[in-house]
Structure 1
Amino acid sequence: MNKKWMSVTLAMTLGLSLTTSSISFAKKKDDWKGNLVIAGGALGSSNKEVYNEFISLAGGKKEAKIGIIPAASSSLKSSQSFKKDLITYGLHEHQIEIVPLANQDFSGTSEDESKWRKNANRKRIANKIENYSAIWFVGGDQLRITDTLVKPNGHRTKALDAIWKMYKEGGVLGGTSAGAAIMSDVMITGGDSLGALNKEFVMKNNLKSGEEYEPLHIEKGLGFFKYGIVDQHFDERARLGRLVMTALKEKTRNQFAYGVDEDTALIVNNKQQTVKIVGRSGVSVVDVSKTKVIDSDSAHFQDVYISHLVSGDTLNVSTKEFFISDHKDETNEYEYYEFKPLDATGVFTSYGRLKEYLSYSLIDNTTTNAVKSYLYDSKGEGFQLTFRKTENTKGYWGYKDGQKDDYSFTNVAFDVAPKKVSFKKNANAFTEYKKSSFIPPVIDRSEPVKGNLLIAGGALGSSNQDVYKKFIDLAKQKEDSRVGIIPAASSSLVSSKAFKEDLVRYGMSPENIEILPLAVTDDKKTPEDESKWADLNKNDQELAKNVERLDAVWFVGGDQTKITDSLLNKNGTNSKVLNAIWKSYRNGAVLGGTSAGAAIMSDVMIAGGGSHDTLASGFTNTYDGMLQQEGGPGYLERGLGFFEHGIIDQHFDKKARLGRLIAVADEKGEPKNLSYGIDEDTALVIYNEDKKAEVVGRGGVTLVDLSQQLRSPDFGQSQFKNIKLSWINQGDILDLRTKNIIINEKKESTKGYEYYEHIVPPHSGVLSGHSVLNKFISYNLVDNAGAESVKSYSFNNGRGFELNFRKIEETEGYWGYTDGQKDDYSFVNVILDITPVNVKINSKK
C-alpha cells in the first residue's frame, strides 16, 4: 500500500499492543485523592453544568486557584477564553493563571512561546503548579501536551511531577478535546473509524494521507485516568470504530473504554471509584471483555457491548454497575415506538447519530431486535455494523430541559463484518411511485397581516431563552400580553401546562396565559372529556371573541392533524375560532408553535412520511397516526396557511426529512417559493410587514430551492438534478422577497480560506463523521478545499438513492465561534443531485 509516510497494515491478532512506550507515568500505589473533569471538546461557554462542576471540585468560587496549560493550542486564544469563562462563573482574575508551558511559538503574540518548553523543568514553575487546586488543559493537538511535559527519554519533567503531586493530594485535573485525550495511559492521537476498522496503523501522525480515511495512531498518554481508554469528540466525529479497535488491540479486557461527546464531561471521583456524566450529550462506554474475534486478519468480530450514559448517570468503575438518573423510567416492555426502522445508510436516515439511532430505532421500539448500518469508502469497500438487543440490554427514557427526550441504554451488542457495497444507477428503480392527489387550499390573503410568526422545529428546550424571549417580545404587550395556548395536537395537557410555566419563568404573568379548550383527544389524567372540546367550542362565539383579544397564540406539538381537526369544520371551512385567530394575527398578534404547531403553518401541511420512503414510493391518501411520522410514504393535508412563503417541515435534522421536503415541494410547491426545514430547538421568525425571516435558537433552517432544477425525459420520477440548498442559523436573515441571505456578522467566509483539505468517503451511516446533514456539508464540502463534491447513499431492499452534493461558483460557506469554542457554520448555494440506484451487498473475499 502506497502512503506518503510509513504505515503498517496489521495482519495480526486483534490483541497486538500499539503503544510506543512501556513507561507508565502512574505509580503502582493508586490512592489518588484528586478528581478529573474530562470534556469531549467543543465545550460551550454557556454549559453551566460543566463549569460549575469544575469550579466546585477546585475548591469553590472563593478557594479555587486554577492553572491553565495552553500547550495543545497554536495560540493563547482558547486559554484566554477559558479564563474569561471562569470569571463569568464567579472566579476572580487573580485566581486564574495561564501557565507558561508550550513547545511552539503561538500566533498573535510578540513573545516566542517555544522557549516555554524549558519551563517544564524549572523548579519555579513546578512550585507554582503544586499550589494550584486545579489544572485545565485546553484543546488542540494532544501530542503538543505530552511533548511539552515528557522528556525525550520518556520520563517526567518537573512540571509533570508537580501536576501528579497536586492531583494525588486532592487537586482536580480537567481538559477538553486534546486535554481529554491525554488523560488515559493509552492516548489516541489520530485516526477515524473507517481507518481503524481497516486495521491500518501509522508510526507518525499525519492527517494528509491522500486516502479517504485516516489510519489509527496511538501514543502514550499521561495516565491520570486509570480505568480504561478515553476518546473525545465522540458523537460528532463518529469514533466508535476507532475506540473499539483500540480497546481490542490494547487488550482492554478488564476495563471499559469511554467515548466522551462534545459539550459533555466525564467526572471521575477516585476515592469513590465512580464516574458521572454532566453536560449536554453523553458518554459511550465500550466493553470488549466478551468479544469473539471471527477473523483476526480483518475487523470481523461479535459481542462488543455498548452503553450510553447521559447527564445524571453514574458508573461504579470497580463493580461495573450502572446507575441511571432516577428521572428516567425503563423502556423494557414499555416501548413507545412501533415503526419498522430502515438501516442507517446516510443523511436520509432518521436519528442518524449513534445514540439517537439506537435509542429510537432499537431500544424504545417493539418491532425489532437488531438494526444495521454501514461504513465504506467510495469503492464500496467497508463493513456492515449490526446493533442487537440481548437479554442484558436495558433502555431508559425521561424528559430533560422541558419536553426533550432523554435516553440512556446499557449493553447493546455490536457486531462488525467486512462487506462490499456496490451501486448501479437506474433511473427507473422506483416505477411504483404514486403522485399526491392532495389539492392545496386557497387561502384568502386579501387583507394585510401586521402580526408575526415564530415557527419552532420541535423539542424546544425550556432553557432556550432566545426563542422564548423572542416570542414574548413579538407579542404586542410583551410581558403583559394575553396568550392563548392551543393543546389540540397533544394527547394530554402536560405540554400546554409546561409551556405556560416556561412563559411565566421568562417574565409573563400567569393570569394572562390561558389554555384554550380546543382538542379532539381526551386527556386520560383529567376527569373532563377533552375529546369533546372541539365540537363544543370551535364555533363558540364567546371563545372566538376572547381569541380576537389575544396578543399571542401558541400551538403545542403532537399530531398536526388534530390541530386542523380542532379548528376546521367538517366541510373544510374555517371555524369561528380559526377566523378569530386570523383576525388577531392580521391585527398584530404573534402566532407560534412547535413540531405539529409548526407543520400547520403553511398551506400544504406535511403530516407523515420518511425521506427515503416518500422519494421511493410517493404519497398515500391514508393516515396511520403518529407512527407515519417516523417513515412510510408521504401524507399531506390542508394546513392553516399563516405562512405564505412556502412549505414548512420540522424535526428536520433529527428525523432527516430532506428527502420528503424535496418530494413535497416538487409536487405541491410554488417555483417562486423556497421550502423550509426547521431543526429541533430552533425557530424561524417571520416578520410579515418587513418580509424578512430570522433564525433563532440552537440549530438552523435548511432552505430548499427547486426553481432551477433540471428535468429530462430520461429522468425517473425519483430523480432530481440541480436542487439548491442553503443552511442558515442563529442571527442569519432571509429576505423573503429577493431570497437574499444576510449572514451573521460574527462569521467569516470560508471561500478561498478553507480550513480542511481532505478526501471524503461517502456518508454511509452512524459511523460517518459529522453525520447530521448540515454538519456533513459544512465540514466536508464548503470548508474543505479537498473536495468539490461529497456523496451519501440511502437504500433498502436492494434499491436506493445516490445523493451528490456539489459546489458551484455561487457556493459559499461561513464560519465563526459563537458559544465558546464551538464551530458555527452557515452555507449557501450547495447543489444536490439525487439519482436512483440498485444496490448489492456482498461479503468481502
Structure 2
Amino acid sequence: MPHKSLLASRRTAILNKYAVIGGRLEDNNTAVYAEMHRLSDGRILIFSTASSEPEEVGAESLAAFEAQGFKAAVAPLYGPHARDQAFATELTEMIHDFGSVYFTGGDQSKIYSALKVDGHETPALIAIRSAHNNGGLLAGSSAGAAIMSNPMLLGGTSLEAMVHGVTDDREEPGILIGDGLGFFPFGFVDQHFIKRGRLGRLVVAMAKTRHKRGFGIDENTALIVEDGVGRVCGEYGVFFIDLTRSRIDLANLEFEDFRLSYLDNGDGIDLQNFRSCPGHVKRRVRKSEIAYRAPARSRRNVFGGYALYDLMARLVLGDQSTYSHDESEAFDVKTGVNVSVSLRRVKGGTRCLISTPVSGLRMTGINFRCSLKNDTLTATQIAEREGRRERNFGKAPNDNARIILLGSSPLNSRLETQKAVMSLIGDGPVGIFAAASAEAKEVADDHVRLFRNHGIEAFDLNITIDTVEYAAYDSELLEKISKLKSVFFCGGNQIRLVETLLHRGEESAVLRAFAHAYANGASLAASSGAVSAMSSVMIAGGTTYEALRYGVASDLGHEGLVIEEGVSLFGAGIADQNLIRGRRLGRLVVACAEEGERFGIGVCEDSAAVAKKSGKVLESFGRYGFVLVEIVPMDLALPGDEFIAKNTRLTMLGPGDSIDLQTNQITRVASMDETAETLEMLTSKLMREGVDLDDIEREGIDTSARHAIKIRMQIQDAASVLLDLECSRDEYD
C-alpha cells in the first residue's frame, strides 16, 4: 500500500494547476494566455533562466504578458550568478507575492542547475513548490515544459533514439536524459513534438525511465491542467502515449502495440484514469467525408515535421474497410538502420473524430495501436532503398520516354522558348491535363491554341478533380491516354493536381493511364506548379526564409515549408520551379535535407530539365537551365533545435548541358560565363536571406537576431559551389 505521504502528494498534484506549453508560444495566442490569466488571477513571475539571452527574452516575455492584461515581472534568476540568486530573500518574496510562475524556453539544464544545488532544493525552488501547492499556476514553454518531468529529456532526436538509444555523452549520438524538477506527476513530457517528429525519442525515454505514460505537446499549444483534468488549448494538439499494455524490447529498441492518441484543441483527458474526452464539437467522419482508401505512396521521413500527424490524419479520414493500417520510415545513413513507425486503427477500439470549422478540418484520434521497429539493412537493401523513386505502375520503364519539367508556363514565355518547348514535346497529338487549375477549361483551351499555333495537334482531356472518378469507367478515354505520344500537365495548384490523380489516396485509373503512356515511350511535360507534383515528395508551399527559419509546416496556413505526397512519375529527386523570381533555391535545399532526398532539381523560368533513361540522365534546355542540389546526408543535423546542412553541392546546368546522376558525369555545352552568371544570381538571392558565416567568423559580426540564418558559399568552379546553412529553430536560443 502506498505511503500516506505519497498519497497526500498525489492528492495535492491533482488539485494543482499547470500550463505545459510545447514551445513557440505566439504573442497573439489569446486562448492560451487567457487560460493562464484565469488560473493565475492575472499575476505571474517570469523566469528567463533557460535562455542564452535572458535579459532580452525576459523583456520580450514581460511585454507579451502585459499586453494580455497580466501584472508580471521578470525574476532575477539568470546568468553566471543564478545559483546565488536562488538563495536571495528578495526572490523568494517575489515568488510568494506573485503566486504563479512561468518558465521560458532555452536550455532546460540551466533551470535545473539554478534551482537545485548539489542535489538540494534552493529556497527559490522551495518557494515555487509552495506557491504552486497553495493554488498558484505553474507554467512553462519549451525548456520550461521539459523541466516539469523527472527525469527530463535534455537532447537528441527520434532517429538517434531509435538507432543509438540513451547516451551520457553529449558528443555521442543518442538521447540525453537528466534529472528534472518533477512538477508534473502525470507522465513524461516532451515539447515541439509534432513539428520536430519526437515520437521516437519520447517512447525510448519513457521505456528507459519506466514511465508508462507520456505527453508530446506541439508548438503554440498548451496542456492546461486543472482539478486533475487536462485540456488541450492552442493551435495544434497533444499526442498521448500509453505503454501500459505494450511489448517492449529495450535492448533492441523495439516497441509494439502501444496506445497512441491525438488530442486536439478543445479535447480533454482525465489524468486520474487517463481516459480521453473529445471536445463537444467533434463528431464521427461521415461516409461522404472519407478521403483515403489506400496507404500513402510517397516515402516521407516519419520523424520529419508533421509526418506523424499526417499519417494519423489519413487513417482518421480513411475507409476502414480497405485502409486501417499505414506506416512510414526514417533511415539513418550513418549506420544503415531503417526505422519504421506503423499505425493501426482497431475496429471497436479506435475512435476517429473530426470537426469542420471555417478555419479548416480538425481531428481527434484515440487509441491507435502504434509500433516502432528498426532493422539494419544490407548493402543491397540500402542500394534498393536509395534507388529511383519513380513508380512504374506495373509497366517496365522505357529508356526512350522523357519527362520534361518546365520552370514556367510556356503561355508566358518568349517565342524562342515556346519553340524549344514544342521541339521537346514532339509532333503530338498532345493530351492537355489542366486539373491543377481552378479554371481548367479556360486554361486547357489556352494551351490547345498555343500548340496548334506551333503546328502541333492538341486536345483537352477534360479531366478535373470533379470528373476523375467517372473517367475510371471510360475505357475508351483511358485507352486513348495510354497511347498518347505526349501529355502536357498545365500549371496551377499542385495540391489539386495530386488530389485528382491520387483520388481519395488511391492511384486513379487516369494516373495509371498516364504511367502506361510513359512506359510506351510518351513524353510527359509539366509546367510551373505541376513540376513539383511530379516528384514522390512534393513541395506544396512556403518561402525560402520560412523553410530555413521554421522548417516543415503542417499546411499552407502556417509559416514554413509545406511538403506533401506527389504522384511519383519523376524519380530523380525533388523538383521545384520558378526558381529565380520565386527565390526558391533555399527551400529546395531544405526540402531535400528534411526528407533525406539526395537530389533536388530547381528549374529556372523560360527553361526546362529533361529526364531521360528513367531519370538517370538530365538535360538542360531554354534560357537559363536548372540547378542541381546534392545534399550530403552525413553532414546534416536535423530535426533538432538547429537546422544544419553542410557541404551541399549546387551545380548549374546551362542550356545544352547534361548530367548522368549515376556517374555524376557532366557534359558541358553552354557558355560557362553565362552559366556562372545564372548561378551567381541564384546564390546571391539566397545569401540575402541570411548572414555570411565567413563574415561572422572573420569580423566577429553580431548576428543580433537569435534566429539569424547563417550561410557560407565555397566556390568549386565557375558553375558549382558548396553551401553551408545553419539556422536556429529553437524558441529562444
Question: Is the TM-score greater than 0.5?
Answer: yes
Aligned ranges 1:816-827 → 2 under 5 Å: none
Q: Which residue of 1 aligns with 2:137?
A: 172
Matched, 1:705 2:603: yes
Alpha-carbon displacement from aligned partner over 1:228-278 (angstroms, at most 9, x marks no partner): 11011111221111111122222223xx20011111111111x2x111111
Residues 475-530 of structure 1: per-residue CA shift (max 9 Å, x gap): xxxxxxxxxxxxxxxxxxxxxxxxxxxxxxxxxxxxxxxxxxxxxxxxxxxxxxxx
Q: Gaps spanning 5+ residues in structure 1: where?
A: 1-22, 105-113, 447-557, 575-594, 597-601, 615-621, 637-642, 680-701, 725-736, 740-756, 763-767, 791-800, 834-845
Change (3 A) 1:738 1:417: closer
Give SS of 1:373's match: strand
- Assess if the C-alpha contact under 8 Å between 1:351 and 1:654 holds in 2: no
Shift of 1:332: 7.9
Q: Are the structure 2 counterparts of residues 326 and 678 from structure 1 closer, same or farther at C-alpha, using a change threshold of 3 Å?
A: farther
Deviation at 1:68, TM superposition (A): 0.9
- Give the match for residue 409 of structure 1: 365
- The one of 212, 217, 229 aligned to 2:176: 217
Looking at structure 2, the residues matched to 394 and 419 of structure 1 have their Cα atoms a distance apart, in angstroms, of: 31
Work out whether 1:564 is the aligned partner of 2:440.
Answer: yes
CA separation of 1:423 and 1:603: change in aligned 2, threshold 3 A? closer
What amino acid is the match of 2:73? E
- 1:163 to 2:128 alignment: yes
Instruction: Please give the alpha-carbon distance, in whole angstroms, between the structure 1 residues aligned to 2:176 and 2:237.
Output: 24
Evaluate the alpha carbon distance shift between residue 291 and residue 610 of structure 1 in structure 2; reply closer, same or farther with a 3 A threshold.
farther
| 2:189 maps to which of 226, 230, 233 | 230
Corresponding residue for 2:113?
A: 147
Shift of 1:144: 0.7
Supply the distance in 1 between the matched residues of 2:529 and 2:161 (Cα, whole angstroms): 47
- Aligned residue for 1:192? 157
Question: Kindly tell me: are residues 813 and 150 of structure 1, through their superposed partners in 2, closer, same or farther at Cα, counting changes over 3 Å?
Answer: farther
Q: Summarize deviations over 1:418-448 as a string: whole Å, max 9, x none.
A: 21333327679865266579999985999xx
Residue 19 of structure 2 is matched in structure 1 by 37
- Name the residue aligned to 1:52: 34
Residues 32 and 362 (structure 1 numbering): CA distance in 2 closer, same or farther, change over 3 Å?
closer
| Partner SS for 1:277 | strand
Matches of 1:170 and 1:150 in 2, distance apart?
Answer: 23
1:327 match: secondary structure: coil
Q: 2:727 corresponds to which residue? A: none
Q: CA deviation at 1:371?
A: 1.3
1:287 aligned to 203, 227, 242, which one?
242
How has the CA–CA distance of structure 1 residues 238 and 169 changed in structure 2, closer, same or farther, with 3 Å as cutoff? same
Q: 665-674 or 362-371, which moves further after superposition?
A: 665-674
8 Å CA contact retained: 1:609, 1:629 = no
1:298 to partner: Cα distance: 0.5
- Which residue among 86, 99, 105 is the counterpart of 1:133? 99
Change (3 A) 1:628 1:389: closer
Contact 1:258 1:285 in 2 (8 A): yes
Give the letter for the 1:70 counterpart. S
Check if 1:389 corresponds to 2:287: no
User: Match of 2:72?
Assistant: 96
Preserved contact between residue 435 and residue 496 of structure 2 (Cα < 8 Å) = no
Partner residue in 1 for 2:285:
331
Q: How does 1:575-724 map to 2 (within 5 A)?
A: 604-605=490-491, 651-652=540-541, 654-656=562-564, 704-706=602-604, 716-719=613-616
Residue type of the alignment partner of 1:605: G
**Separation of aligned partners in 1, 2:114 and 2:216:** 25
TM-score by length of 1: 0.54
Indicate the residue corresponding to 1:618 in structure 2.
none
Name 1:65's counterpart in structure 2.
43
1:624 Cα shift? 7.6
Which residue is equivalent to 2:64? Answer: 85
CA distance in 2, matches of 1:716, 1:197: 37
1:819-838: CA deviations, max 9, x gaps? xx9958699999999xxxxx
The residue matched to 1:226 in structure 2 has which SS? coil
Map of 1:74 onto structure 2: 52
Contact 2:492 2:529 in 1 (8 A): no
- Greater relative contact order (Cα < 8 A, sep 6+): 1
- Amino acid corresponding to residue 145 of structure 1 in structure 2: I
Q: Secondary structure at the match of 2:338?
A: strand
Q: Match of 1:298, SS?
A: coil
Closer/same/farther in 2, CA of residues 173 and 738 from structure 1, 3 Å limit: farther
Match of 2:702 in 1: none
* TM-aligned CA deviation for residue 383 of structure 1: 2.3
| Aligned residue in 2 for 1:698 | none
* Aligned partner of residue 718 in structure 1, secondary structure: coil
Distance in structure 1 (CA, Å) of the matches to 2:574 and 2:44:
58
- 2: distance between equivalents of 1:305 and 1:669? 42
Letter in 2 for 1:266: L
Q: Could you say if the C-alpha distance between residues 339 and 677 of structure 1 is closer, same or farther in structure 2, counting changes exceeding 3 Å? A: farther
Aligned CA-pair RMSD: 5.6
Q: How does 1:306-345 map to 2 (within 5 A)?
A: 306-331=260-285, 336-342=290-296, 345=299
Inter-partner Cα distance in structure 2 for 1:723 and 1:84: 53
* DSSP 3-state at the match of 1:307: strand
Contact 1:364 1:395 in 2 (8 A): no
For the 8 Å contact 1:812–1:827, the answer to whether it is kept is yes
1:662–1:824 distance in 2 versus 1, CA, 3 Å: farther
Offset of residue 373 of structure 1: 1.7
Structure 2 runs not aligned, ≥5 long: 415-433, 451-464, 467-487, 516-526, 534-538, 542-560, 588-599, 626-631, 651-660, 665-678, 692-704, 722-733
**1:143: Cα distance to partner?**
0.8
What secondary structure sits across from 1:44 in the alignment? Answer: coil
Identity of aligned residues (%): 20
1:418 to 374, 380, 401: 374
Conserved 8 A contact 1:136-1:174: yes
| Closer, same or farther: CA 252–365 of 1 in aligned 2, 3 Å | same
Q: Distance in 1 between matches of 2:302 and 2:188?
A: 33
Kindly report which structure 2 residues correspond to 1:741-780, keeping only aligned pairs within 5 A, or say none: 769=639, 779-780=643-644
Per the alignment, residue 323 of structure 2 pairs with 368
Q: Which amino acid aligns with 2:112?
A: T
SS of residue in 1 equivalent to 2:33: helix
Cα pair 1:721 1:832 within 8 Å, conserved? no
1:73, distance to aligned residue in structure 2 (A) = 0.9
Residues 181-204 of structure 1, C-alpha deviations (whole Å, 9 max, x = no match): 011222111222122223533335
Q: Distance in 2 between matches of 1:716 and 1:672?
A: 28
Shift of 1:82: 0.8
Partner in structure 1 of residue 82 of structure 2 = 116
Instruction: Name whichever structure is richer in helix by fraction.
Output: 2
Closer, same or farther: CA 372–711 of 1 in aligned 2, 3 Å: same
SS class of match (1:100): coil
The aligned amino acid for 2:217 is: V
- How far has the Cα of 1:84 moved from its partner? 1.1
Between the aligned partners of 1:365 and 1:822, the Cα distance in structure 2 is 46
Deviation at 1:66, TM superposition (A): 1.7
Partner Cα separation in structure 1 for residue 575 and residue 644 of structure 2: 31
Q: Are the structure 2 counterparts of residues 569 and 282 from structure 1 closer, same or farther at C-alpha, using a change threshold of 3 Å?
A: same
Kept in 1, the 8 Å contact 2:44–2:72? The answer is yes
TM-score by length of 2: 0.62
What is the match of residue 672 of structure 2?
none
Deviation at 1:780, TM superposition (A): 3.0
Q: Deviations over 1:672-702 (max 9, x none)?
A: 98798999xxxxxxxxxxxxxxxxxxxxxx9
Aligned residues of 1:623 and 1:635 also touching (Cα < 8 A)? no
